Chain A
C-alpha cells in the first residue's frame, strides 16, 4: 500500500541570517506498510516522522520545498510524479493544530469539503455524512460553527471530515497534541473504528499510551533513520521503563496522582470567593477557597471546560471584573495589581513574543522601578540563568519551539513576579523536551518562585508536582 525505498529528503529554508540552508527530514529510509496495517511512528521531534506522513499525502515534495531522492509509492502512485490532488482520493490527513486545518466555518461544510472536491454527487455526500456522524456519535456536532467547538470536538470533526470521502489510507500527524484525557479517549475510539473497517492507518505521535492497544507495529525513528521496529504483540508486553530507555513517552496510561491537601501555611497564595462568569456563556468559575503553597510546584488539572484557564486569567488580572480576593505574602492583590503578582506563560508562546531580539524581548519585561543603567545587566543575568545568552541577538521567531518557550519564561522571570503560571507547557512535546521543561520548572521553584502548572500531561504531573489541585465543573 505504502512503499518507501531508500528515501532521503532535505528541506530547504532560510536561517536567521537569510542564508539558504538544508534541514534533514529523513535519511535513506526504507519501509513498507501493508493494506489494513496500523503503524505508529515514534521518536524525538525532528526525527523525521512528520516527514514520513508528508511523503504519504504528497505535501513532501509538492508543498514543502526540498531535495528528494529514492522512490515513494502510495496506492500504486509514484508520489514524485503525481500531485497532492491525485493522492487526495486515497489519503486522508489529520493534522496537529485544530486552528488551522479547517477550510470551512461550519462543521457540515467541512465534512462535505473533501468529497465536494472529488466531485461526488451531493446526495451521496449527504448520505456519507449521515453515516459517518452516526458511526462517530457526533450528531450533536453537525451544523455548528467550528469556532464554537472545544479542542477535542475539533479533532473529532477533523477525523470525520477525512472519513466522509472514504480514503483507504489515513495519516495523522500528532493528533493528540492539544487534547485532554477525554479527548484522547474519543480519538482512540475513532482510530479503533478505522482499524476495524480495514483502513490503513499511519500515526506520527509522541503520546503513545492510547495507541499501544491498536498498533500492529511501532517504528522508532532517530535522525531520519529507522532504528527499531516493534511488533504490536511485543509492544503491548512492554512497560514504561522500556519506553523511557528509548526516549519515548509512556506505553501504558499513567494515572493522575491523588490530590494532596496542601498543608496550611500563613504566607501561601490564598484565593477566596473568586467568582467570574463570561457574558453569553455558561463558562466561568466559582471558587470559595483555594490555597496554593508558596515556593512549590502546584499542578492544576481537570477536564476541559472545568475553568482552569479562566482561573489563570483571573489570577493574572486579565479579567478585571472578577470578584473575590487574592492574598499573597501578607497582602491583598487587587485585579489591577495582579499583573505584578502572577505572570503567565501561554500555551502558544508565539503570541507572547513581540520584539526583534531575545535581549529586547526580556528587556521589555523589566519592571519600571529598575533604574535605567541596570536594566540590561538584569536582563542579561536572567538570560544567563536560562542558558539563552548566546541567543541574545537572534529574533525570537527564528528559534525552535523549546527556545521560544524559554524566552517567554525569561520574560516572566525578569518581571520579578513571585508567581509563575504555565498553561500546558508540554503540549506536543516529546519525552526529552518534556523532561527539559520539568527540570526548568524545578529550577524556578528552587529559585524561590511559586509555580503553577495547568496541564493534562499526567507524566509531567508525576515528574514535578509538589501538590495537585483538581478542578471540576462541580467544585468550581
Chain B
C-alpha cells in the first residue's frame, strides 16, 4: 500500500493536486463515454497519452514502458484478436479486455497521482478547495494508516507462520484463517488509533479550527494549460457530442 507516500524522495511534484483531480475526472469521462471513430478516437488517444508523458516526467521510465506496452496490447487485442477469434475464447477475451480497457487509463492516471503527490500536498489542496475538516482530517489519517496496517499485518502473518496456522491442517479452514488474521489486526487498529488520537490532540489538532500549511501548492502555467485542455474536452463531451 504505497498510496501518497514519499516514493520519490527529493522529487518535487510538477502539477498542482487540483489539476490532477480535474484531469482524473476528465480522463474518466472521456474514456468511458467515447467510441472508436473520428474525434472520439482522437480524444481517447490524447487521454491515453497523458499518463505516459507524466510518468516520463517524474522519471518512472519502467512504469511508463509497462503502461505503454499494456496500452498497445489492449489496442491489439481489441483491433485484432476479437475479430479473429470465435466462440468461448472470443467471449473470454471480450470479457477480460472490455472492462480492463475501460479503466486502464484512469487507473494509470490514479497511480501517477498517488506516487507524485504527498499527503500534505493533497490535504493542503483540499483546504484550498474549501473541503471541510470533516473530510480532510479522516482522509489524511486514512492515508497515514495504510502503511501502518501493512506493517501490522506482516507481523501478524509472521506470527501465524510461527504457530503453524495454515489453510490446511488442524487449524485449517478459510473462516478460521480470516478470524486469526483480521481479529488481531482490528485489535491493533483500536490500540494504535487510540494512541494516535491522543498524540494528535496534544499537538493541538482541533477540527473546525483554522490551521496554516507549510506545503507549497500553487497553480503554475502548466496547470492552467492542462485545465484549459480539460475544459475543452468536457465541452466537447457535454455539448458538442
Q: Do chains A and B touch in the complex (CB under 8 A)?
A: yes
Q: Are A144 and B6 in touch, CB under 8 angstroms? A: yes
Of residues 182 through 241 on chain B, the ones whose CB sits less than 8 Å from some CB of chain A are 183-184, 187-188, 191-192, 195-206, 209-215
- Asked if A400 CB lies within 8 Å of chain B CBs, one says no
What's the least CB distance linking B172 to chain A, in Å?
A: 11
With a cutoff of 8 Å between Cβ atoms, the chain B residues found around residue A365 in the complex are 163-164
Of A93-101, A256-264, A323-331, the one touching chain B: A93-101
The verdict on A88 contacting B118 (CB below 8 Å), with A122-B214, A147-B147, A350-B187 known, is no
B192 A318 Cβ-Cβ under 8 A? no
Cβ-neighbour of A105 out of B144, B184, B195, B205 (below 8 A): B144
Residues from chain B with a CB closer than 8 A to the CB of A71 are none
CB-defined interface of A346-375 with B at 8 Å, one 1/0 digit per residue? 101011111100000000110010000000
Per the bound structure, the CA–CA distance linking A139 and B120 in Å amounts to 20
Q: A residues within 8 A CB of B4?
A: 105
Beyond A63-B197, A105-B4, A114-B203, whether A368 also contacts B169 by CB under 8 A is yes
Q: List 15 additional contacts besides A354-B159, A365-B163; criterion CB under 8 Å.
A: A57-B202, A88-B202, A93-B202, A100-B191, A113-B205, A116-B211, A143-B9, A343-B162, A344-B162, A350-B191, A352-B162, A354-B165, A354-B180, A364-B165, A411-B163
A397 near B: Cβ within 8 Å?
A: yes
Asked if A105 and B118 sit within 8 Å, CB to CB, the answer is yes
Residues of A within 8 A of B160 (CB): 354
List B residues 126-167 near A (Cβ within 8 Å). 140-141, 143-144, 147-148, 151-152, 155-156, 158-165
Known: A103-B140, A105-B119, A350-B191. A84 touches B202 (CB 8 A): yes
A379-B9 Cα distance, complex, nearest whole Å: 51
Q: Are A126 and B214 in contact (CB under 8 A)?
A: yes
B84 within 8 A of A: no
Question: A residues within 8 A CB of B5?
Answer: 105, 145, 147
**CB atoms of B9 and A117 under 8 A apart:** no
Q: Given A62, A99, A125, which contacts B148 in the complex, CB threshold below 8 Å?
A: A99
B175 smallest CB distance to A (angstroms): 13
Q: Which 8 pairs between the two chains have the least Cβ-Cβ distance?
A: A88-B204, A100-B195, A117-B204, A101-B199, A93-B202, A145-B6, A114-B203, A351-B155
Verify if A121 is at the interface (C-beta below 8 Å from B). yes
Q: Which residues of A contact B156 (CB under 8 A)?
A: 351
Query: In the bound complex, what is the Cα–Cα distance between A317 and B6 (angstroms)?
Result: 32
- B residues near A (Cβ < 8 Å) are 4-6, 9-10, 118-120, 140-141, 143-144, 147-148, 151-152, 155-156, 158-165, 169-171, 179-180, 183-184, 187-188, 191-192, 195-206, 209-215
Which residues on the B side are within 8 Å of A475 (C-beta)? none
For A364, the chain B residues whose CB sits under 8 A away are 163, 165, 171
Complex interface bits, A119-131 against B, C-beta within 8 A gives 1, otherwise 0 = 1111001100100
Report whether B199 and A102 are in contact in the complex, using a CB–CB cutoff of 8 Å.
yes
Q: What CA separation (Å) do A62 and B195 show in the bound complex?
A: 14
CB neighbours (8 Å) of A41 from chain B are none
* B170: contacting residue among A93, A117, A339, A368, CB under 8 A: A368
Interface size for A (C-beta < 8 A) is 67
Considering the complex, give the chain B residue whose CB is closest to the CB of A352.
Answer: B159
How long is the Cα–Cα vector from A318 to B157 in the complex, in angstroms?
Answer: 10
Q: Would A58 and B202 count as touching, CB distance under 8 A?
A: yes
B147, B159, B213 interface centre (most CB from chain A within 10 Å): B159
The reply to whether B213 and A116 contact each other, CB–CB distance below 8 Å, is: yes
The contact of A104 among B120, B170, B210, by CB within 8 Å, is B120
Among residues of B, the one whose C-beta sits closest to the C-beta of A114 is B203
CB distance A95 to B187 under 8 Å?
A: no
> In the complex the two chains form, is A117's CB within 8 Å of B211's CB?
yes
What are 10 A-to-B residue pairs whose CB atoms are below 8 Å?
A63-B201, A88-B203, A102-B144, A105-B5, A106-B119, A116-B211, A117-B203, A117-B205, A121-B212, A122-B214
Q: Which residues of B contact A138 (CB under 8 A)?
A: none
Tell me if A100 and B147 are in contact (CB < 8 A). no
Give, as a whole number of angstroms, the nearest-CB distance from A453 to chain B. 17
In Å, the complex CA distance between A360 and B191 comes to 23
B147 cross-chain contacts in A, Cβ below 8 A = 105, 147
A100 with B159: CB separation less than 8 A: no
A339 touches B164 (CB 8 A): yes
User: A97 vs B141: C-alpha distance in the bound complex, in angstroms?
Assistant: 17
**Nearest CB in chain B to that of A372: its residue:** B170
Q: Is the CB of B6 within 8 A of A103?
A: no
A26 touches B (CB below 8 Å) = no
Judging by beta carbons under 8 Å apart, are A104 and B199 in contact?
A: no
Q: Which residues of A (127-153) have their CB < 8 Å from a CB of B?
A: 129, 143-145, 147
Q: B162, A143: Cβ atoms under 8 Å? A: no
A91 contacts chain B at the CB level, 8 A cutoff: yes
By beta carbon, the residue of chain A nearest B193 is A100
How far is it, in angstroms, between the C-alpha of A460 and the C-alpha of B93 when the chains are bound?
64
Given the interface pairs A88-B203, A103-B196, A339-B162, the reply to whether A348 lies near B119 with Cβ below 8 Å is: no
Distance between Cα atoms of A126 and B201 in the complex (Å): 22
* A114, B119: Cα distance in complex, Å: 16
List B contacts of A348 (CB < 8 A).
155
A109 and B120 in contact (CB under 8 A), knowing A100-B192, A100-B195, A116-B211?
A: yes
Give the residues in chain A near B163, CB-CB below 8 Å. 352, 354, 364-365, 411, 415
Residues of B within 8 A of A115 (CB): 212
A62: chain B residues at CB < 8 Å are: 201
Complex CA distance for A348 and B191, rounded to whole angstroms = 12
A182 within 8 A of B: no
Of B6, B155, B170, B179, the residue contacting A346 (CB under 8 A) is: B155
Report Cα–Cα, A53/B213, bound state, in Å: 29
A46 within 8 A of B: no
Q: Mark A9-27, 1 if CB is under 8 A from B, else 0.
A: 0000000000000000000
